[in-house]
Amino acid sequence: MAAEVDQWSAAAVQADGVLQPEEVENDDGVYDDEELNEGEVNGNWTPQEKALHEARLKAKAKRRLRKSSSRDSARESLSEAVAGEAGADPNSPKGKALQNHDRKSRTGKGRGLPKKGGAGGKGVWGAAGMVYEMEEPDAKDPNYDESAQGDTVYATVVPELEEGELEKTVNPIVQEYFEHGDTREVEMLLKELNLGPHKYEFSSLAVSLSLEGKASHRELTSRLLSDLVGKVLPESDIARAFDKMLKDLPDLILDTPEAPQMLGQFIARAIADHALPMNFLSRYKGRVDCDHARAALDRASVLMSMKREMVRLDNVWGVGGGQRPVKHLIKEMNLLLKEYLVSGELLEAEHCLRDLEVPHFHHELVYEAVIMVLESNGETAIQLMVKLLQAFWKSGLITLDQMNRFFCHIL
């Protein structure tokens, strides 16, 4: 029995009362020491209960001692902190930290009222009676109502073409123009593009492509520059394009040996069409070091001096292509046949016919040749015309279908 009492005592004395002995409660759930004392006086306790009661009293005394010691230490630390603040040096880091956390005015002014009259601070709407200005609605506001902002205007933003994509975009437009010859369509396509600062390169690309093509392509390019100036391309951009081409002539002659003469004709035609300023040639006098550029400018100067009284240099590229009037083509074919009857040179006649670039109209050459033979006197004209038609037949300039059209035209 004595061993059991010792175990209960050891369990009750452990720190923090982790293993607390059972306490006796009254009907109200409050520990009653008087009831326990009366039981002890009356001698109703058993030895176990008596040992348990003693362990309980010891644990309770330790708890009271622990609480009183913690309170005393807190008071001491607080008093030391107050004493330290009172005696701290204001120039020391600790004194400055205390001054920063002081809410009182450091200048000795003020009445202790809230800052800014209560209108400052985070989450404050402002002082009473304050009127705010009208703010523009923010599209990123969750409460933004697009329908309440009036009519919405949508604009199409065309991205600017990069320098690498410019040639890939412009070349198909120019090649297609060489087929249909409609300058309005090219103008519409250019307005849909955003060429940006590289707009002048359209003119140089078009001229470069025409140099590698036929005379009709160069004629179409001259018309295109004349129609686009002032609408899509300013005069300064076209002048800048020809300046660039004059510098690039050493590279252009590698593919087109006649590039200097052709570029000079382009410059003369552009000046006559008012696509280039009249002082374009005078700006280069005495300032050209490249022989090819000097040859191009000399060619343009000669053409301008010869055609000074003409408003347009229409025949600078010769007569060719189906864009010319039919009467003009018939006149050129008559001149071709008359020169052949005088010279008798088949190669020259073939070359002139190819330069006209109207293979669909060669049946008219057969018709004019027959009419000319019928109106002539002697056998020489008949023999020369038969020889000419035979040569054209063998070279493929005149086909069977065109001969049939000639006979249908006569009948």
**Range with the largest mean pLDDT of 4-18, 299-313, 333-347, 355-369:** 333-347
For the stretch 141-160, pLDDT in tens is 887 776 666 666 777 888 88
The label of the residue with tokens 């297609």 reads 176
Tell me the C-alpha distance between 332 and 373, whole Å. 17
Given a cut of 50, whether residue 17 has pLDDT beyond it is no
Tell me the C-alpha distance between 334 and 356, whole Å. 12
Let me know: does 253 contact 359? Beta carbons within 8 Å.
no
Number of separate helices (H) and strands (E) present in the chain: 17, 0
Q: How many CB atoms lie within 10 A of CB 140?
A: 6
Share of the chain above pLDDT 70, in %: 70
Tell me the C-alpha distance between 83 and 133, whole Å. 52
Query: Higher confidence at residue 1 or residue 338?
Result: 338
* Whole-number pLDDT of residue 21: 40
Query: Of the ranges 9-13, 141-145, 335-339, 381-385, which one carries the lowest mean pLDDT score?
Result: 9-13
Mean pLDDT, residues 236-248 taken together: 93
- Residue 44's pLDDT band (cuts 50, 70, 90): confident
Let me know: does 292 contact 250? Beta carbons within 8 Å.
yes
pTM over 0.85: no
Given a cut of 90, whether residue 176 has pLDDT beyond it is yes
**Range with the largest mean pLDDT of 3-12, 115-124, 177-186:** 177-186
Plot region of 404 (φ>0 → left; ψ -120 to 50 → alpha; else → beta) = alpha
Given a cut of 50, whether residue 19 has pLDDT beyond it is no
Let me know: does 49 contact 22? Beta carbons within 8 Å.
no
Given a cut of 90, whether residue 209 has pLDDT beyond it is yes
Mean pLDDT, residues 206-219 taken together: 89
* Whole-number pLDDT of residue 31: 44
Identity (one letter) of the amino acid at 258? Answer: E
Tell me the C-alpha distance between 170 and 183, whole Å. 14
Mean pLDDT, residues 388-392 taken together: 88
For the stretch 98-137, pLDDT in tens is 555 555 555 656 666 666 666 666 777 777 777 777 777 7
Query: Of the ranges 24-38, 273-287, 387-401, which one carries the lowest mean pLDDT score?
Result: 24-38
Tell me the C-alpha distance between 355 and 320, whole Å. 6
Query: Of the ranges 71-75, 314-318, 358-362, which one carries the lowest mean pLDDT score?
Result: 71-75
